[in-house]
Amino acid sequence: MRSLKYAHSFEVVRQLPDNLSPLTQLAYNFWWTWNHEARSLFRDIGRDLWEQVEHNPVELLNNLGQDEVDRLSRDDIFLAKLKLCSGRLENYLAGKTWFDRKYPGKRETTTIAYFSAEFGLSEGLPIYSGGLGVLAGDHLKAASDLGLPLVGVGLLYSRGYFRQSLSPDGWQQERYPQYDFYKLPLTLCRDASDKPLRITVEFPDSEVLIQVWKAKVGRIELYLLDSNLLENSPDEQSITDTLYGGDETMRIQQELILGIGGYRALAALGKKPTVCHMNEGHSAFLALEQIKQFMQDRSCDFRTARQCCVAGNVFTTHTPVPAGFDLFPADLVKKYLTKYAIDLGLSIDKLLSFGRIGSSGTDDRFNMALLAMENSNHVNGVSKLHASVSRRMFSERWPEYPIEEVPIDAVTNGVHTMTWISRRMTELLDEYANPSWRDDPSDPEVWNSLDSVPDSKLWEIRENERGDFVRYCRKRLKMQHHRASSGPVDMAGINDVLDPRILTFGFARRFATYKRAALLLQDKERLKNLLFHPDRPVQFVFAGKSHPRDDGGKKLIQDLVNFIRHEGAGRRIVFLEDYDMSVARRMIQGVDVWLNNPRRPMEASGTSGMKVVPNGGLNCSVLDGWWDEGYKKGLGWAIGDSHETSDEGYQDWIDSRSLYHLIENEVAPMFYYRSDGGIPSGWVEMMRRSMTELAPTFSTIRMVREYASRFYMPSSIAFEHLASDGLEKAKEALKWRDKVRQSWSQIQIKSVQDEGATTNLINDSFKIQARVNLGSLDPSDVHVQAISGQVAQGRELTQLELNNLELVSSDGSLHEFVGSVRCAAPGHRGYVVRVVPSHEDVIVAAELPIVVYESE
């Protein structure tokens, strides 16, 4: 039978009556995902249909029959709700923002481009796999709330990440449905002639055509790139099929499209970023295209262009282990980028050096994180502990600096509160907090208002949310059983699964082995005793996917499912298949305790535990990622301590015992101890304290404000400064760097004297005098510093303090500097004097990591 293919194509859209037309604007703006009233509006159109289309409002409207449209157009209550939601969206889009108040006049001169391989905005746009993507989605939403002049750039995967089901023996099965972009909340970008906007990315033997789609995220525009065009070969069409799919060749092709194609797409749309934020290293090739376009626009060489562009770049790493970075064989990079290097005026070896540390070593693979780092003046980890781990991982790049000074900062992640908070808790805060609390849930006063909320109200919400969640789990289990057996479902058995009155734990995340999902199974008999304790029973709900090529992660799922099925635990432990944002929302709103037990320090941040906080859930977690800085006694529970051992089996054993002990002796007793009225007052007080102290801090509003003030705006200003006045400032900075490098070997610290006594009093200071020969350099070219700290084993200085010395006299090339050192703490302390470069337009540690220390 002949298969017909179209010769001409066109798009068909639904025309709604005038009084329903605002539904279209609401459907095509992901603002509805963080507004309960708008979400309810779509659900009210048809609850079953809303679930059937997996919360995709565009497909919901497209699937309405004319009878349903006519009914809605006559429904005065629905129309009143529609008018309310539409008005709120219009007011939101037109409102004065934090950015305009904080940086008046900067909107016209600032454009921040945020690149990420995945974005988790809603389960209705399935182009995310987990935490990285959901964080990126929350980042855009917070940027919208704050009014940042930011655009997002990503890839549009026609088959998304995989959908998960389990085989009869508990092994993960993957399927990849094909998505129709015309049925998603997206619009195809068009050029001035109303033709689809097309850009090209050059591969070794072809030019791949890319088209661009736009998603609206409140005030923010997200641009998504798609290679599935008939003009491309079948292999090229499939490049953007799946997220994190394929081999190394597919991955480098995806990342070339994301970085190079993404930057070209912005140019084609008339957008010229002053700041580029690379969320992980997947998009790092953008730095090369950014430099290339700058060279063409300004008729300058590679070094001058790079001096300007690097000033405007920000890189966030999310990976706590070296194996987690994208690494490509050198030959593969040469194949795809040799011609590109020639266009930049570079040798391919020079380009490869941007993705390596040093020129020697056994591993010659090209590291995308290093490429991003080499081309960014601001680098950060996603928690304080992760930044510390990252400084150790990349310390070789800054060999002359102590680990504490490796220039990798920390911006701890947060969550977009309004996306994740339950409707019940939202209504409670509407009643007790300032009416404008939704605009800034990072304001501590919002959560301090909980002090006036009666215990009974907080506990009632917790009870109701848990009850709703148990009913949700049963419904989902029914669907899972029906899908697996295609036969009648034992409803009586399913209705006995979970108990709405029992202490409920949640565990949901990617099933990577280091996250230790099966830690609870270390002692199965002890676990069963916890599950079926006669007075204080507990229950667990698990969810999560393992990467398709991670058999170790799949084995964890299988072990867990087999325990549920064959050890009599089916009434107390549930595994929910096909974890996505919808399941996540129900879990974090419904559980009493969020469980997280990774192998420290391998959790860069983790945000799932943050999401339970504004819902009144508590955390029980290893001191890793965000919980290492969020935990305080009385806010939740810490599994074990901050001690780490190299014996993983022993560490697992210790941590499992700590977890069992916590549940038996602290968590369950507090939950079940009820005072008069049946309210666990100690539990409710911990809920209140957790929300009050943690919710405002671990918010993306706080996080994005931090990015804006610490990185985005300084970077934008630096980029504009260097790129102005015919690039004179950039050329001057380059000339200075060359001068300093050529003259650096001339520097000698001739002598150091101090007025300190053998024994000094705490908090006293003493004078230091250093005589330094700077050779042909001027004192304004350097900082002379005394680094002081505690003396540890091997004379190593720790707990460092930096003290700048001031120039007091000069005699030719010999200069005298004077300053002081404070006796900051008791014990054995010391200091060392050093010289580092200094220039107002060069971030020295990032761009020029050279140091001279006094001789020991």
Decide if 557 contacts 576 (C-beta within 8 A).
Answer: no
pLDDT digit string, tens, across residues 775-816: 999 999 999 999 999 998 888 888 899 999 999 999 999 999
| Residue predicted with more confidence, 539 or 359 | 539
Task: Quick: pLDDT tens for 563-622.
Answer: 999 888 999 999 999 999 999 999 999 999 999 999 999 999 999 999 999 999 999 999
| pLDDT, position 796 | 87
Q: What is the mean pLDDT of residues 278-288?
A: 97
- The per-residue pLDDT for 359 is 47
Query: What contacts 419, CB < 8 A, 6 or more positions away?
Result: 33, 34, 137, 138, 141
Rounded to whole angstroms, what are the CA distances from 406 to 323, 378, 379, 410, 794? 20, 12, 10, 12, 21
| Residue 824 confidence (pLDDT) above 90 | no
pLDDT at 361: 46
Instruction: Tell me if residue 790 falls in helix, strand or coil.
Output: strand
Helix, strand, coil percent values for the chain (each to nearest 5): 45, 20, 35
460: exposed, middle or buried (Cβ count in 10 Å: 0-12, 13-18, 19+): middle
The pLDDT of residue 155: 98
> How many Å apart are CA 225 and CA 39, to the nearest integer?
27
pLDDT given at position 323: 76
Angle at CA of residue 398, ends 392 and 402, nearest 5° = 60
* Percent over 70 (pLDDT), the chain: 98
What pLDDT does 794 receive? 80
Q: Tell whether the model's pLDDT for residue 650 goes beyond 70.
A: yes
Query: What HEC string does 531-555 produce?
Result: HCCCCCCEEEEEECCCCCCCHHHHH
Round to whole Å and give the CA distance between 38 and 85. Answer: 6
The rounded mean pLDDT for the chain is 94
Q: Could you tell me the pLDDT band of residue 645, with boundaries at 50, 70 and 90?
A: confident
- Binning pLDDT at 50, 70 and 90, where does residue 363 land? low
b (16+ CB within 10 A) / e for 83-121 = eebbeebeebeeeebbbeeebeeeeeebbbbbbbbbbbb
The set of residues, in sequence order, having a beta carbon less than 8 Å from that of 490 and lying 6+ positions away, is: 481
Token pair of 581, please? 């944002």
DSSP-assigned letter for residue 239: G
pLDDT score for 435: 85
Any idea which of 289-303, 499-513, 789-803 has the lowest mean pLDDT? 789-803
Q: Return d(Cα 494, Cα 481) in angstroms, integer.
A: 10
- Confidence (pLDDT) at 777: 96
Q: Which contiguous run of DSSP H or E holds residue 503?
A: strand 503-508
Residue corresponding to tokens 């020969």: 773
Cross-strand partners of 797: 791
Say if residue 250 is exposed, middle or buried (CB neighbours under 10 Å; 0-12, 13-18, 19+): middle
Residue of 755, 784, 757, 779 whose CA lies nearest to 768 = 755
Measure Cα distances from 335 to 292, 328, 339, 359 in Å: 19, 11, 9, 20
Residue 112 token pair: 């921040």
**Other Cβ atoms within 10 Å of 794 Cβ, number:** 5
Closest of 567, 568, 585 to residue 576, by C-alpha: 585
- Residue 66 pLDDT > 60, yes or no? yes
Place of tokens 């697992």: 652
What are the angstrom distances between the C-alpha of 338 and each of 176, 203, 343? Answer: 34, 10, 9
Radius of gyration from C-alpha coordinates of the chain: 29
Mean pLDDT of 658-670: 97
Average pLDDT over residues 21-36: 97
C-beta atoms surrounding 709 within 10 Å: 12
What pLDDT was estimated at residue 306?
97
Percent residues over pLDDT 90 in the chain: 87
Which of 261-265, 354-358, 750-754, 788-792 bottoms out in mean pLDDT, i.e. has the lowest? 354-358
How far, in Å, CA of 121 to CA of 329, rounded?
33
A 10 A CB-CB count for 765 gives 15
3-state DSSP call for residue 820? Answer: strand
Q: How far apart are CA 81 and CA 694, in angstroms?
A: 33
Closest CA to 466 of 587, 642, 353: 587
Indicate if the pLDDT at residue 486 is higher than 60.
no
